[in-house]
Structure 1
Amino acid sequence: MPNWCVGTLRVRGTKENLTKFVLEGLQPVTYFGSETEALKFDNCGCIECKRCWIKGTYRGFVVDSHVYFDDLKDEDVTTIGLDTEFAWGISAEELLNSCKRYNVDMRIHAFERGMQFNQIIEIIDGKITKDEEVEFDDYDWNCICPNIGG
C-alpha cells in the first residue's frame, strides 16, 4: 500500500480544452484498477468522477470530484479543481505531457504526511515553471496542512 500524496489539482484552460481533458484524459477505474464506464455529461451538464486514473501518470487519481461548466462558451478560460491522490509522489513530467496534449495549465500543492513532505508543481503554457519538494524539520508544526495525505 503506497503513501498518498494528496492535493487539489487545479487545471486551467478553455472550456473546450478542459472538457477534452476530463472526458479523454481521465479513465474511470475501480479501487483495484479495473476500468469502468467512460465519463460523460449527466442531464444537468455535470461530469462526475468517483475514482479516475489520470492517463499517463503512475498511479495518479482524481477522487470524488465533479465538474460543471455552467454557461461558458467553448473559448472562455476557466479553472477547475480536482481532488487528487498520487502514489508516493507526483511526476511533473507526466503532468506536463497532459498539459501539452490538452493545451491546459496545471498547479498543485500536495501533502504527504507519511514521508513528511509537500510537492508544489506548476505548469503554464507547456513549461514546468515550478517543481519543488518541500521537506520539514518538524512536519506537524511547520506544514500548513499536516493531517492530509500519507
Structure 2
Amino acid sequence: MPNWCKGTLRVRGTKEDLTKFVLEGLNPVTYLGQELEPLKMDGLGRIDCERCWIKGTYRGFVVDSHVYFDDLEDEEETTIGLETEFAWGISAEELLQSCKKYGVDMRIHAFERGMQFNQIIEIIDGEITKDEEVEFDDYEWDCICPNIGG
C-alpha cells in the first residue's frame, strides 16, 4: 500500500472548461481500481465524486469531492477545489497534460506525512510555474499540516 500525498487540487478555468475537466478527465473507480459508471451532473448542477482516477496520472485520485456548477458564472474564470490523494508523490508533467487538454490551470500544496515532505505545484497557461518538494528537519514542528497524508 502506498503512502498518500494528499491535498486540495485547485482547478481554475471557465465553467465550460471546468465542467469538461470534471466529466471527461475524472474516471470513477472503486478503491481496487475497477471502473464505475461515468460521472453525471444532476438536476441541481452538482457532480459528486466518491473516488475518481485523474486520467493521465499514475495513481492520482479525487476523493469525496462535490462540485456545484450552478453556482458558477458562465463566462467568468473561477476555481473549484478537489480533495486529492496521489500514491507516493505528484507528477507535475502528468497534471500539465490535463491542463493543456482541458484549458485549465492547477495549483496544489500536498502533504506526505509518512515520508515527511510537501509538494507544491502550480500550472498556469499551459506552463509549470512551480514544482517544488519541501523537506523538513522536524516535520511535526515545521510542517503547517503534519497530520495529512502518509
Which interval holds the TM-score relative to the shorter structure? over 0.9
How high is the sequence identity, in percent, across the aligned residues? 85
CA RMSD of aligned residues (A): 0.8
What letter matches 2:18 in structure 1?
L
User: What is the match of residue 52 of structure 1?
Assistant: 52
Give the structure-1-normalised TM-score: 0.98
| Offset, 1:43 | 2.1
Aligned residues: 150
**Does the C-alpha gap of structure 1 residues 44 and 140 become closer, same or farther in structure 2, counting only changes over 3 Å?**
same
Give the structure-2-normalised TM-score: 0.98
User: What is the match of residue 131 of structure 2?
Assistant: 131
CA distance in 2, matches of 1:78, 1:71: 10
Unmatched segments (≥5 aa) in structure 1: none
Which consecutive aligned stretches of 4+ in structure 1 deviate over 6 angstroms post-superposition? none
Q: Residue 70 of structure 1: SS of its match in structure 2?
A: helix
- Confirm whether residue 61 of structure 1 aligns to residue 46 of structure 2: no
Unmatched segments (≥5 aa) in structure 2: none
Q: Residue 67 of structure 2: SS of its match in structure 1?
A: strand
8 Å CA contact 2:29–2:51 kept in 1: the answer is yes
CA distance in 2, matches of 1:112, 1:39: 28
Cα displacement string for residues 51-92 of structure 1 (whole angstroms, at most 9, x for unaligned residues): 000000010000000101225343221100000000000000
CA distance in 1, matches of 2:127, 2:71: 30
